[in-house]
Amino acid sequence: MYLPLHDVSETKYYFRISAKVCFLTVSVPLVAFLCCVIITMVKDFEEANNTHCKVPNIFPSISASVGNFEPQSTIWKTAIYIHAPLRFYIISLRWKYYKKVIRSECLFLVNLAVTLNVLENLSLLGLTHWTSSSNYPYHESCFKTFIGASVFYMLLTCIMLSNCRRRSKLTNKEKYSVKLKWRAFSLNVTSFACAAIFFLRHNRFCEPYVYSMFGFSEYIVVMSNILFHLTSVYDLQIKFIYLTKRGLITE
């Protein structure tokens, strides 16, 4: 079912852009993240995998990959800063969508979910600005906030779109979107739990390659988070975004 968020048939606009381009832009961090990991493994492998345990490892952690070396740090920061305004705009579109499809008695959950989504994006900017090497306390606080906000946002979204809709019968796209969300959420929580276990085990026992397993689990956390947000394509079903005298509107 297509739900237009705004009717622009009689509205004059300065220019329009395909919504597909906008959603692809949101995936820029994934491309930047993969580039940073690959560059780190090629250029800074030994230093990135060097921990206090002095044991062999294969995969560097995310913090080492995106924050400790150049040009990786610049690539990551540029990607996050450039796409951040669009992410916040998409949050506003999600908010409108949720209010259209979620029952009125569940609007508290809608507002809570959107607040968590805003907090998630603000903390992402924070942990990008304050790297683990430049300001560890701030980086740690932003990281914990990011993980907590993103996990509970994903959970609330899955619950709302599964149990709180105005319509009980879903379209095939809506069913597929909810299924993807639950899978991405489950993968995210599982991989984060694995990352925590591997991190604690590495610090306690200093076993070879355990820190690499921690790093790989971190990769899955990032990719499952991005996958979850990309499912908005099935929800919003926007064709174009227009710049008008009244600001940005969609069709």
Residue type, 87: R
Closest CA to 29 of 70, 62, 69, 64: 62
- Distances in whole angstroms, Cα of residue 202 to Cα of each of 60, 63, 64, 215, 219: 13, 16, 16, 11, 17
The rounded distance, in Å, linking the Cα atoms of 54 and 45 is 14
pLDDT, residue 83, reads 87
DSSP secondary structure, 89-153, as one string: HHHHHHHHHHHHHB-GGGHHHHHHHHHHHHHHHHHHHHHHHS-TTT-HHHHHHHHHHHHHHHHHH
Cβ proximity of 76 and 32 under 8 Å: yes
> Cα(210)–Cα(202) distance, rounded to whole angstroms?
6
Q: Are 139 and 130 in contact (CB under 8 A)?
A: yes
Residue 34: per-residue pLDDT: 93
How do the pLDDT tens digits run along the chain, 251 residues long? 434 444 444 456 655 666 666 566 677 888 999 999 999 999 999 999 988 899 999 999 998 899 889 999 999 999 999 889 888 988 988 998 999 999 999 999 999 999 999 999 999 999 999 887 788 899 889 999 999 999 999 999 999 999 999 988 888 989 999 999 999 999 999 999 999 999 999 999 999 999 999 999 999 999 999 999 988 888 877 665 666 666 556 65
Q: What is the CB neighbour count within 10 angstroms for residue 4?
A: 12
Q: Is 3 helix (H, G, I), strand (E, B) or coil?
A: coil
Expressed in angstroms, the distance from the first to the final Cα of the chain is 14
Closest CA to 91 of 72, 73, 68, 113: 113
Count of CB atoms situated within 10 Å of the CB of 80: 21
pLDDT at residue 4 in the model: 45
What is the residue extent of each domain of the chain?
14-250
**Dist CA 209 CA 202 (whole Å):** 9
